[in-house]
Structure 1
Amino acid sequence: SPDFEVANDNVPVGYIEAKDIGANLDKVQESEQLQRYFRSLDNVILTDYLEFRWILNEEYHAKMTVRLAKVDSKGCLTPIPDALSHLKRLLKNFIEAQSITLRSPEELAEKIAYIAEQMKDSILQGYKNEDKNGKLHGQLDSFRSVLIDTLTAEEFADMVAQTVCYGLFAAKCSSCGQPFSRLTAIYFVPKTNPFLRQLFSQLAGVDLDAGLVWLVEQLVKVLNHADIAAILADFGKRTRQEDPVVHFYETFLKHYNPQVREIRGVYYTPEPVVSYIVRSVDLLLKDKFKLKKGLTDYSKIDDGTHRVQILDPATGTGTFLYAVIANIYQEVSKRTAGAWSAYVSEHLLPRVHGFELLMAAYTVAHMKLGLQLQEYGYNFKSDERLRVFLTNTLDKAHDMHEPAFAKWLSDEANAANAIKKDTPVMVILGNPPYSGHSANTGEWIRELLRGT
């Protein structure tokens, strides 16, 4: 982290990176460390105590430079006239600098990505520095035992970073203009995603590691200077060519970890293809399965379970489930005016399921589907959630016991496993992740493919 943080009423206004007297600031400014600071921090002073460089808003070059003294061949300092008054003006500009308001999803996704990148590296370094009984080791062991048994330390650091960043983003989107800070964020994480809410509380609450506080505070500052209303409005501007929510996620991946797209087989399915698949499934249910209402069907089998159970095993950002819900909404609202809210609670939420392995995509899917249902006029009850779960579809289903980390971790896994084991899924649709050599190669799926 930078050497100094300058704050006003506990709100960061800028950062100062100090080097030894006589350090080559040109070389320091071009270093990877400083370049990463500039990408995520918008107000920085670089100094060797004799020269002060003020860098603002990713300009990568000094907006203003002041040198207090020259050093002669004997190492003696010769003060530069009027330098102190110039430094005073530089510091005044630094303190009063206004962050640029981010109004587009692309700008915000890029900022979040750069902060997440530094956060991931900080978490991984913290993991390496602590002993095996440390907090991060315990959390990783819990994730391995409950969610993903092949999870590496690097992937765990990635998951934590994405949880904190996207948890803050989701919280800010739900804050409705109320005062928003690191400590109040937990109250705004959507209740429709209880897993994210609990995980965020554990990872980014009052016990947040000191090495991450400055990054979280910086992200809060970025979010507070973003035009969230405009960004959410953009999320609603779907066209047949592009989904803004997906574009937001892909922009994030591009700047955060472009390799994950290929390693995890993350590829976006164009909206016309999604629409065709969803409409085809609806038609097949009507023609081949004799279910006249297709995807809208809410009949039940003998044990009271809905007949048409729908699962996207590779949910991603929720593109297919969004199309499914849109299809159902059109049919229900067309048939019976005013019946939508009751239908969602009784016949939609209980039978539309999704599995996702990547934390950022999982969070975005919850946001996207939650916003969609709100746009359609549905208000979630306090105990309702979207049945999109963070789980590895290619892992065998088995009951999980409460880990030392938290009970809610096993609750998420058990809910997903119940769908894998007990739910009579009729419709599986989506765009399964594909890659020539996928990184998702757990023991169970390998043995299943071998027929052993």
Structure 2
Amino acid sequence: MPNLILTDYLEFRWYVHGERRSTVSLGHIEPDGKVKVKKEDLAAVGDLLAQFLALKLPSISTAKELALRMANLAGLMHNAALKTLEIEPDTGTLKGWLAAFEKTLVPSLSPEQFSDMYAQTLTYGLFAAKVSVGAGQNLRRDTAAALLPETNPFLKRLFYHLAGPEVPLTVSWVVDDMVALLNSADLEAVMSDFGRGSLEKDPVVHFYETFLAVYDPQKRKVRGVYYTPEPVVSYIVRAIDFLLKNRFGRPWGVADRHTLILDPACGTGTFLHSVISLIYATLCTQGQAGGWPSYVSQSLLPRIFGFELLMAPYAVAHLKLGLLLLEKGFDFPPGQRLGVYLTNTLDEGFKRAEVLPLAGFITEESNSAARIKKEDPIEVILGNPPYAGHSANASLRQEAGVTGTIRTVRTFIGRLIEDYKQVDGKPLGEKNPKLTQ
């Protein structure tokens, strides 16, 4: 907030870029508690307000500056949502959304975690909508959902509820401030700044890292979120391509139309970005670049998948991969989406349909991912899973036995963990170095 007035409605303090520029008062409080106002005081406040409104700030023109400003507003949004949850009745809007996410996606989701998810979803949803609408048209909160790209129908539906007319007044003001911030940015310059990223640093990921460093510097440590350097990603993808060609009889490598590829913890989509880039280069080398749009629609989107549990990386992955395909000449037709899903990769399977609209389409997104888990013959699994020492997925749960007694049993995740510890009936003997430090 580079241009800010802080006031108790008697004293007005004007700040520009964090420095106090002027302080004036409408008057002073008399010993009897009444406020005494002079004409010159009214004129001084009027002058301050006029200067405040007339100040022309330089437009935001770099990705770093925009990320920093977005992070500060997202922090306010997070706090506003958390405070709203504290004062809302059980039938309140935010509490209903919290219950829907907890029931269908993230068990034991706390108000703090939901507020974080909510703030980052709105922030990156609005950013994606602004990128979609371009620099020539202003963004509006009430119509932002319709402007989100076709690559992500789930986010379009979710965003309608989270940012539309149902947003509580205690939160909507900061959402509107985010809209104003994005409208004031020089989007063409920001997107051009994205394009200046080196091979060592993906510009979209760098944007998210910059945002996260200000918004919540502890999130990377708590969630185990670390970004794989571009050279490492490139090597892994090229190595898989080599092995497919030379060991598995797939002369086209990752470009083979029958090879299904999954990143089970795709984050911001860095590995999938590298896969798609290599596929495009392969087609160009083989003189088939002209058939790229048809190839993407028929032979790429149906077989390239990513799963992600955190909302912000999920939205960023869609944004990044959508921009890549657009850059290569592919426009998404209605009804076709990227195969990146918001889901818990370690969730066992299908969920029943929910009555609440929000819970219903979260369930639909999760079930679409479950079909891929259970039915599609995935041949290549790549990526960099979270580096946290402990999984957030419960390995034990309580259930009632036949006689009514309560017993402790292993969950689907618990059974996987126990199976992993054994090889041919013998203990693996593996130790996690993160848990021994």
TM-score by length of 2: 0.86
Q: Distance in 2 between matches of 1:49 and 1:142?
A: 40
Partner of 1:376: 328
> Is the contact between residue 63 and residue 207 of structure 2 (CA under 8 Å) also seen in structure 1?
yes
Distance 1:85 1:137, change over 3 A: closer
> Is the contact between residue 164 and residue 204 of structure 1 (CA under 8 Å) also seen in structure 2?
yes
Partner of 2:263: 312
Return the match for 2:103 from 141, 145, 148. 145
Task: Note if 1:331 corresponds to 2:290.
Answer: no
Identity of aligned residues (%): 47
Task: Note if 1:348 corresponds to 2:313.
Answer: no
Partner of 2:182: 223
Partner of 2:363: 410
Distance 1:82 1:135, change over 3 A: closer
Task: Note if 1:249 corresponds to 2:208.
Answer: yes
Distance 1:124 1:282, change over 3 A: same
Partner of 2:405: none
> Is the contact between residue 12 and residue 25 of structure 2 (CA under 8 Å) also seen in structure 1?
yes
Q: CA deviation at 1:52?
A: 2.0
Q: CA deviation at 1:372?
A: 0.2
> Is the contact between residue 403 and residue 410 of structure 1 (CA under 8 Å) also seen in structure 2?
no
Distance 1:233 1:126, change over 3 A: same
Q: Distance in 1 between matches of 2:110 and 2:26?
A: 49
The one-character-per-residue Cα deviations of 1:25-54 (angstroms, maximum 9, x if unpaired) are: xxxxxxxxxxxxxxxx33322234443211
Return the match for 1:107 from 65, 81, 92. 65
> Which secondary structure state, in structure 1, belongs to the residue aligned with residue 352 of structure 2?
coil
> Is the contact between residue 280 and residue 289 of structure 2 (CA under 8 Å) also seen in structure 1?
no
> Which secondary structure state, in structure 2, belongs to the residue aligned with residue 180 of structure 1?
coil
Q: CA deviation at 1:184?
A: 2.3
TM-score by length of 1: 0.84
Q: CA deviation at 1:87?
A: 2.5
Q: What is the 5 A alignment of 1:2-21?
A: none
Q: Distance in 2 between matches of 1:143 and 1:68?
A: 48
Distance 1:137 1:67, change over 3 A: closer
Q: How many pairs are equivalent? A: 402
Q: What is the 5 A alignment of 1:277-296?
A: 277-296=236-255
Q: Distance in 1 between matches of 2:233 and 2:342?
A: 22
Return the match for 2:387 from 423, 429, 434. 434
Task: Note if 1:66 corresponds to 2:34.
Answer: no
The one-character-per-residue Cα deviations of 1:405-451 (angstroms, maximum 9, x if unpaired) are: 33322221111111111111100111111123344556432332124
Q: What is the 5 A alignment of 1:143-292?
A: 143-176=101-134, 177-292=136-251
Distance 1:66 1:420, change over 3 A: same
Q: Distance in 2 between matches of 1:251 and 1:400?
A: 38
Q: Distance in 1 between matches of 2:267 and 2:318?
A: 10
Q: Distance in 2 between matches of 1:75 and 1:150?
A: 50
Q: Distance in 2 between matches of 1:100 and 1:356?
A: 37
Partner of 2:433: none
Residue range with higher mean Cα deviation, 407-416 or 266-275: 407-416
Unaligned runs of 5+ in 1: 1-40, 299-306
Q: Distance in 2 between matches of 1:153 and 1:196?
A: 21
> Which secondary structure state, in structure 2, belongs to the residue aligned with residue 65 of structure 1?
strand
| 1:449 partner amino acid | I
> Is the contact between residue 263 and residue 439 of structure 1 (CA under 8 Å) also seen in structure 2?
no
Partner of 1:362: 314
Q: Distance in 2 between matches of 1:337 and 1:451?
A: 46
Q: Distance in 2 between matches of 1:250 and 1:275?
A: 20
Partner of 1:421: 374
> Which secondary structure state, in structure 2, belongs to the residue aligned with residue 291 of structure 1?
coil
Q: CA deviation at 1:70?
A: 5.6
Q: Distance in 2 between matches of 1:135 and 1:365?
A: 28
